[in-house]
Amino acid sequence: MSAGLTRVTVQWGHCSQAVGAAVIHRRLADATAGRADVALIAAGCDGACFAATQVTVQRPDGAMRFFDSLGPDDSLSPIMAAIDGGDDGADSERPSPALEAFFAPQHVAVTEGLGVIDPGSLDEYLAGGGYAGLSAALDMSPDDVTQLVLDAGLLGRGGAYFPAARKWAAARRVNAPQRHLVVNAEEGEPGVFKDRHLMEGNPHRIIEGALIAAWAAGAASVVIYINAEAGLSAQRMFDALNAANTAGIAGDNILNSGFSCAVHVRRGAGGYVCGEETTLLNTVEGRRREPRLRPPFPTDAGLYGEPTVINNAETLANVPAIITGGVRRFAGVGLNEARGTRLVSLSGAVRRPGMAEVPMGTTVRQVIDLVGGGVASGRPLGFAAVGGPSSGILPAAALDAPLRPGMLHASGVVMGAGGIVVFDNQASPVQVAARLADYNAAESCGKCTPCREGTPRIAAALRRLASGQPTPTDTTDLPDLAEIVSAASLCGLGQMAGNPVTTLLHFYGSRLDDAG
């Protein structure tokens, strides 16, 4: 931004869009039309969805004014007074106490710049050190880049937590004329919205991470796969990619290095199952949205039968900082077995819902109490649905489980993609488990019999339990149904569909008959 301008930033993400951010931005555009001293920016959301819509005014002398929880019909007078250097009596020189409390427990790394930088400005990304990681990586050999990320210990952030760079090495070892890298930003499960924040707030960081990974894997093609309903995310990724192509950062002869990589954005086919990596590949190829048999695995034969690396968007957003900051900086946060941070989507009955970045090892309770501010109703905390429909329910007494790969609890609760939905003690765990089961049944692609037939039966039994009208065999049939569906299904949707049942039975089995 040019010196001497007053910068007015409207946080406009998919969350704030729902409460009028686009309207506020348009009204401010009208109010400042023709003013050469004002730069109006549409940024992404910084993660504090509870405070949407946020507007920040930064004057040329560095003075800041903060406004939050704005509605589409609220007066713009305080904002205009801040632009003009006046004082309307509002104490907005610092973010609100609620915002400061929300960010205090966090460790900002991947989310740096969200809500601040202009996602449509390549210059702003470059000014903050953007694409320095790509430049440095292109001066290294692919093997050295791969080893650096392996040494850092970066695990995938999509739910399986496989070492990211091992996929790069595996694809590169396959003798093939063409390799691909796919950025999985499908993010179709309820209660998870981290990748959308990244795409809407700092799309160039994902592109940079993808190009570094493509260089390491020997891929000449990148596909960024975005949920069919994430329109704002897709638009900002399209815009960022166009800017990168124009600047010679993506496409042919990237940064005059001799490395060429075509990057494309593709929209998902709709449905939770599209996040499963082989289903994703089928939809890119124009096939039915159903999983493939494995082996072969995608690193051997993926997109169009060619070696393909599939990494989650959050995973790749970590890569540029590993290249520029080194192993020690990345590995100095989190757990020995799971380094770095974890983006968490926090929603439900909390005072401060939103997307937060916390070190691996942070407990579920700490996220709820410190980041989320506890239960909004003031009632006691009841339980949390952790990890989405592929996971299960943790009661209040079990919420000291640390966020880490694998099981958070032996009952079947996993961290998954980092979703935490909170309920107070008035909510019914049986009803919540029934909703999760309904979702799994509705999203089954129908290819394999265990999932196609088993998930509706699980959902029906849980609905009967939730309504207080179970059959005599529901509580005895459910464990067997859950085990069969999980053991015999073809893909991760079915394989994890029994988890809501097993966790419910583990924690609440003794009182299922009256839990509804």
Among left, alpha and beta (phi > 0; psi -120 to 50; other), residue 397 is: alpha
Number of domains in the chain: 4
Q: What percent of the chain has pLDDT above 90? A: 89
In a domain, 111, yes or no: no
- Which range has the top average pLDDT, 3-7, 489-493, 508-512? 489-493
Q: 391: domain CATH number?
A: 3.10.20.600
The candidate with the shortest Cα–Cα distance to 302, out of 501, 437, 167, 128, is 167
Instruction: Give the pLDDT mean for 81-104.
Output: 84
Q: Mark whether 395 and 454 lie in a shared domain.
A: no
Provide mean pLDDT across the span 480-509: 92
Domain membership of residue 176 (yes or no) is yes
Kindly state the average pLDDT of the residues 152-179. 96
- 94 plus 148 within the same structural domain: no
Residue 93, pLDDT score: 84
CB 462 within 8 A of CB 419: no
Q: List, in sequence order, the alpha helices (H) in 300-448.
A: 313-317, 319-331, 364-366, 429-443
446/419 same-domain check: no
With bands split at pLDDT 50, 70 and 90, how would you rate the model's confidence at 85?
Answer: confident
| Pair 228, 147 in one domain | yes
Instruction: Read off the tokens for 50.
Output: 């509870």
Same domain for 40 and 91, yes or no, is yes
d(CA 208, CA 214): 10
Looking at residue 51, what is its pLDDT?
Answer: 98
Contact assessment for residue 103 and residue 111, using Cβ atoms and an 8 Å cutoff: no
Residue 406, domain member (yes or no)? yes
Contact yes or no for 360/342 (Cβ under 8 A): yes
* The pTM of the whole model exceeds 0.85: yes
Mean pLDDT of 74-82: 95
Amino acid at site 370? L
334 lies in a domain? no
Model confidence band, residue 516 (pLDDT cutoffs 50, 70, 90): very low
Identify the CATH number of the domain in which residue 474 sits: 1.20.1440.230
**Residue 108: inside a domain:** no
Q: Are 385 and 415 contained in the same domain?
A: yes
Q: Within this chain, do residues 314 and 407 fall inside the same structural domain, yes or no?
A: no
- Are both 137 and 89 inside the same structural domain? no
Residue whose structure tokens are 């169009």: 304
Reported as a single tens digit per residue, the pLDDT across 206-260 is 999 999 999 999 999 999 999 999 999 999 999 999 999 999 999 999 999 999 9
In this structure, are 149 and 263 located in the same domain? yes
| Contact of 199 with 313, CB cutoff 8 Å | yes
Q: Which of 239, 231, 206 is nearest to 311 (CA)?
A: 206
| Start-to-end C-alpha separation, the chain | 57
Structure token pair of residue 141:
């050999």
In tens, the pLDDT along 343-372 reads 999 999 999 999 999 999 999 999 999 999
Q: Look at residue 159 in the predicted model and tell me its pLDDT.
A: 86
| pLDDT for the residue numbered 370 | 98
Residue 513 has pLDDT above 60, yes or no: no
Model confidence at 89: pLDDT above 70: no
Q: Is residue 335 part of a domain?
A: no
Question: What are the phi and psi torsion angles at 436 (to 5°)?
Answer: -60, -40
Provide the residue range defining the domain that includes 240.
Answer: 122-329
Residues 405 and 377 in one domain: yes
Tell me the CATH number at 196: 3.40.50.11540
Tell me, yes or no, whether 242 and 318 share the same domain: yes
Helix (H) or strand (E) holding 40: strand 38-43
- Is residue 336 in some structural domain? no
What pLDDT score was predicted for residue 87? 64
| Boundary residue ending a domain (397, 424, 451) | 424
Query: How many Cα atoms are found within 13 Å in the side-chain-facing hemisphere of 345?
Result: 25
Q: Is 355 inside any structural domain?
A: yes
pLDDT digit string (tens) for 411-464? 889 999 999 999 999 999 999 999 999 999 999 999 999 999 999 999 999 999
Residue 515 confidence (pLDDT): 41
CATH of the domain at 42: 3.40.30.10
pLDDT tens digit string along 121-157?
A: 999 999 999 999 999 999 999 999 999 999 999 999 9
Final residue in a domain of this structure, among 391, 424, 457: 424
For range 374-396, the mean pLDDT: 94
Statement to judge: residues 97 and 143 lie in one domain: no
